[in-house]
Structure 1
Amino acid sequence: MVSESARNVRVVALASGKGGVGKTSISVNLAVALAREGQRTMLVDTDFGLANAAVMLGVNPPDTIEDVLEGRLPVEAAMHVTGDGLRLLPGASGVLADTAPLETANRRLAEGLRRQSETLDFVIVDSPSGVQPQTMRYLAMSDRVLLVLTAEPTSFMDAYATVKLLSLDHGYTAVSVISNMVDSEASGRDLFGRFHDVASRFLPADLRYLGSLPRDEHMRMAIMRKQPCVTAFPESRATAGLARLAQALAAHDIPPSSGGSRFLGLEHLDGVA
């Protein structure tokens, strides 16, 4: 078994607070961009309400994470490998109420991911939007949370609520921010600065700025094509921004944590992690 200190793979979970801010699209494109940079990457879709990662990748795998949680298949059998070498564990819509007991289901997922951990550099987790208890548990079981933030007041407030619950209820403080749909890099830094000023005043969070993505219609057009933007529109501003984010993440100092080790089944896991 790989020890926490020895493991090279990092578990990175995407969060947004509210829906509609581009979290899943960033998860998918960032994972593909990392794979194209030579990083051995796996994308895990844990959104059991509205799982869309496979749709955005233009694939329709017959098996999903539900089969793993219910014990019907191991992770290896449910996993789909894309043409870019990205390993995808697809989500399954509308299955949360029917899954096995939480402790059993989480253990099955963790044990399967542990077998993959020695051959990966990154596990990108597309978490559900909102602040439901299971969403917060998955976020806390990561080495780093990437919080997608837009300038909308509702996004700002819901992002703050996410950081508050993570830091105060779960003792989790390692959060990096992506400013999305901004007019310029300066606007992205300004948005992060305003969020950092408010959050750091009241919360014990370690907030870092990862980068920004421009407002670009090509992101929406790629979704309509059921392709990642980095594949469909390689010359777009969005693709350039996603490549910068992938490079920044690969260079980011992300130490292994007990949360990420629990997600990978390398530490004790229970239903209330």
Structure 2
Amino acid sequence: MPHLSPGLVVAVVSGKGGTGKSTVSVNLAETLCETGLAVALIDADLCQSSCATLLNEEPPASVLALARGAVSADRVFHRTACGVTLVVTGTATRPGGPAPFLFDALDDVLETVAQSHDVVLIDAPAGMDDAVRWALDRAHVGLLVLVGEPTSVTGAYALAKTVWQTVPSYPFLTVVNAADTDADAVQTATRFAELTTQFLGQTPTAAGWLPYDAHVRAAVRDQVPAVRRSPALQAAFAGLARGLAPLLPSARAAA
């Protein structure tokens, strides 16, 4: 593991697909950037990379190309229209998973952006493959995205169990996505916390919730972050961003 600078590294994860994890990552990155923070977003999904598509951006090169020696390091750091530094890992088709050299290159890239950004978001794949383990191992905190469905809660529980069996003190935050009401969001977060507390002896910290909003589907279709179109989502993501503020290096130093 590389020696990282104090910049906050957040692994955005989910126990299963379909929770809107990448949409959360993209909109949170843009929201944090709007507050004046230097933000980097690493798309570490080696099979279903979507952050560049959601932002309608075309990074000139991937980390996989860098790892293969096909491009220079400076070509993988792409500045988006809103000012986020976007890095895409690329698609790894090697049977059995990506080669170790890819994670070596990811370590180098992460070290670079961590030294020069206030926040680094790693959009990890769903589930618990090698890329997820890498993201969680490198991050200061894991942001676990839930939706109000039994399969989402079950998948998140399995992920948290795997991590907490190895690192009992690992800090997880939960965010409930696409909730119909505040009561529904609270119920989902509470159900998950009760489950992990009872069976794992660990309780995640609820970081907030994001409302269901028809603007999300339209924004995905139009390849723009939904926070540019929905005041309700702007407010919700701003609240989530404020929840991360105490974890920033400046806050930790002041404490």
Query: 1:87 Cα deviation (Å)?
Result: 0.1
Alpha-carbon distance in structure 1 between the residues aligned to 2:208 and 2:105: 34
Alpha-carbon distance in structure 1 between the residues aligned to 2:91 and 2:225: 20
Cα pair 1:150 1:181 within 8 Å, conserved: yes
Query: 1:96 Cα deviation (Å)?
Result: 5.1
User: Which residue in the other structure is 2:240 paired with?
Assistant: 245
- Percent identity of equivalent pairs: 29
Query: 1:254 Cα deviation (Å)?
Result: 8.0
User: Which residue in the other structure is 2:121 paired with?
Assistant: 124
Q: CA RMSD for the aligned pairs?
A: 2.4
Q: 1:26 aligns with which of 24, 30, 36?
A: 24
Q: How does 1:152-163 map to 2 (within 5 A)?
A: 152-163=149-160
The 1:113–1:133 alpha-carbon spacing in structure 2 relative to 1, beyond 3 Å, is closer
The 1:253–1:42 alpha-carbon spacing in structure 2 relative to 1, beyond 3 Å, is closer
- Look up the equivalent residue of 1:129 and give its one-letter code: A
Task: Work out whether 1:190 is the aligned partner of 2:187.
Answer: yes
User: Which residue in the other structure is 1:149 paired with?
Assistant: 146
Query: 1:97 Cα deviation (Å)?
Result: 4.3
User: Which residue in the other structure is 1:35 paired with?
Assistant: 33
- Look up the equivalent residue of 1:227 and give its one-letter code: V
Alpha-carbon distance in structure 2 between the residues aligned to 1:86 and 1:159: 28
Alpha-carbon distance in structure 2 between the residues aligned to 1:99 and 1:60: 25
Query: 1:131 Cα deviation (Å)?
Result: 1.9
Q: How does 1:42-81 map to 2 (within 5 A)?
A: 42-81=40-79
Name the TM-score, length of structure 1 as normaliser. 0.83
Alpha-carbon distance in structure 2 between the residues aligned to 1:172 and 1:165: 12
Name the TM-score, length of structure 2 as normaliser. 0.88
Q: 1:115 aligns with which of 112, 116, 128?
A: 112
Deviates more, 1:40-49 or 1:91-100: 91-100
- Look up the equivalent residue of 1:197 and give its one-letter code: E
Alpha-carbon distance in structure 2 between the residues aligned to 1:187 and 1:151: 7
Cα pair 2:179 2:185 within 8 Å, conserved: yes
Alpha-carbon distance in structure 2 between the residues aligned to 1:202 and 1:98: 32
Q: How does 1:85-124 map to 2 (within 5 A)?
A: 85-95=83-93, 97=95, 101-102=99-100, 104-124=101-121
- Structure 1 gaps of 5+ residues are 256-273
- Per-residue CA deviations over 1:71-93 (Å, capped at 9, x if unaligned) read 33344321110121100002423
The 1:182–1:105 alpha-carbon spacing in structure 2 relative to 1, beyond 3 Å, is same
Query: Aligned residues, how many?
Result: 249
Cα pair 1:70 1:99 within 8 Å, conserved: no
Query: 1:108 Cα deviation (Å)?
Result: 2.2
- Look up the equivalent residue of 1:84 and give its one-letter code: C
